[in-house]
Amino acid sequence: MRSKRGLRHDRAMAIIEVRDLTKRYGGRAVVDEVTFSVEEGEIFAILGPNGAGKTTTVEMIGGLRRPDGGSVRVMGLDPIADPRRTKEILGMQLQESQFADRIRVGEALELFSSFYPSPVPWRQLMEELGLSEQERTLFSRLSGGQRQRLSIATALVGSPKIAVLDELTTGLDPKARRDTWELIEALRDRGVTIVLVTHFMEEAERLADRVAVIDRGRLVALDTPRGLISSTASRQVMRFRPGTPLDPDDLRDLAEVETVTDEGGTLTVTGSEGLVYAVTSLLARRQVVAHELRVDTATLDDAFLALTGREPETEETER
């Protein structure tokens, strides 16, 4: 994985504090005593399957819904008691929100910039997001990627300290998705704190400094992507077919090896860190050639599976 660029303060300040946050619909808790804090300048991902309560959580942070329990503070402000000031410092891009078909890109940006006390110049923002050529294009004629960029632009036009981006890349083609990711990193490098709601592992793994995993309304894990992977799926897996017979017990004697299974001449060896070095060293000493050698390291997918007991959704299921 790439190292994260950007501003990591030595003593990071919490810019959003969420404590025991709860929301019920018809007696059922869709957000159930969730507690976390987001540090200034980080990219904080909220990851979970559809219907896990991610969007409801960020809607309460943004002051769109009133919590049934617990508290939210955004730079010390209560979003329900002080919605106007909260919304001035927190820009939100909502899932599936659109604009009027016959509004032009430039008009939408001018309109949203008029809502804020000290907006960034909207033409400059339009240029940064690569929408200048579409200034006079009607919303209905924009591509999916252009619509998404306009949506991001309107979330940023008020010059927010925090940007909440919900299911940002859902439905985008891979090129548009990569462009959007670069945009988010550029944004973070300018000091904007980003809360990213997603159900794509790859997105969280690539972008996030920390990931909160929410499942059925509950916070089930909160760590860096790397931390999540190593804490929940530390095992490594090797598969190979020995060129000459090899006693599985010789492998089992290695300290790093946990299990060895033999399926029709193909050995599957699992173990902890250092497994690969230990096994290849043994094979080299015995002068055994390993055919069809595969080494699998755990990904955030495996971590997600371990945490929620469910397969993460893939892009294919999305379409």
Partner 1 sequence: MKPLITLTKIETRVFLREPLAVFWGLVFPSLLLVVLGLVFPGAQQFSEDLGGARLVDLYAPTVIGLSLITLGVSTLPTILATYRERGILRRMSTTPVHPSRLVLGQLVIHAGVAVVASAASIALGRVLFEIALPANLGGFVLAFAVGTAGLFAVGLLIGALAPTASSGQGIGLAVYFPLLFFAGVYFPMQVMPDGLRTVAELMPSGAVVRSLADTWAGQSLQIPNLVVMAAFAVVFGLAAVRLFRWE
Residues that bind partner 1 (CB under 8 A): 62, 64, 83-85, 87-88, 91-92, 94, 96-100, 102-103, 107, 110-112, 114-117, 138, 154-155, 158
CB of 31 to partner 1, least distance (A): 17
Q: Which is nearer to partner 1, 77 or 229 (CB)?
A: 77
In the complex, minimum distance from the CB of residue 227 to partner 1, in angstroms, rounded to a whole number: 31
Tokens (6 digits) for 75:
């730079």
- Closer Cβ to partner 1, 99 or 304, answer by number: 99
By beta-carbon proximity to partner 1, the closer residue of 91 and 271 is: 91
Three-state SS at 45: strand
Closest approach, Cβ 156 to partner 1, in A, equals 12
Three-class SS state of 187: helix
Q: What's the CA gap between 187 and 209, in Å, rounded?
A: 14
* Residues 161 and 89: beta-carbon distance below 8 Å: yes
- Of 203, 228, 226, the C-alpha closest to 213 is 228
CB of 77 to partner 1, least distance (A): 12
Category of 253 on φ-ψ map: left (φ > 0), alpha (ψ -120 to 50) or beta: alpha
* End-to-end Cα separation, the chain, in angstroms: 27
Minimal distance in Å, beta carbon 306 to partner 1? 35
Cβ distance to partner 1 smaller for residue 70 or 106: 106
Comparing CB distances to partner 1, the nearer of 12 and 64 is 64
Q: How far is CA 122 from CA 20, 107, 127, 247, 295, in A?
A: 38, 10, 9, 69, 50
54 within 8 A of 9, measured Cβ to Cβ:
no
What's the min distance (Å) between Cβ of 126 and partner 1? Answer: 15
63 contacts 107 by C-beta, under 8 angstroms: no
Cβ proximity to partner 1: between 117 and 309 the closer is: 117
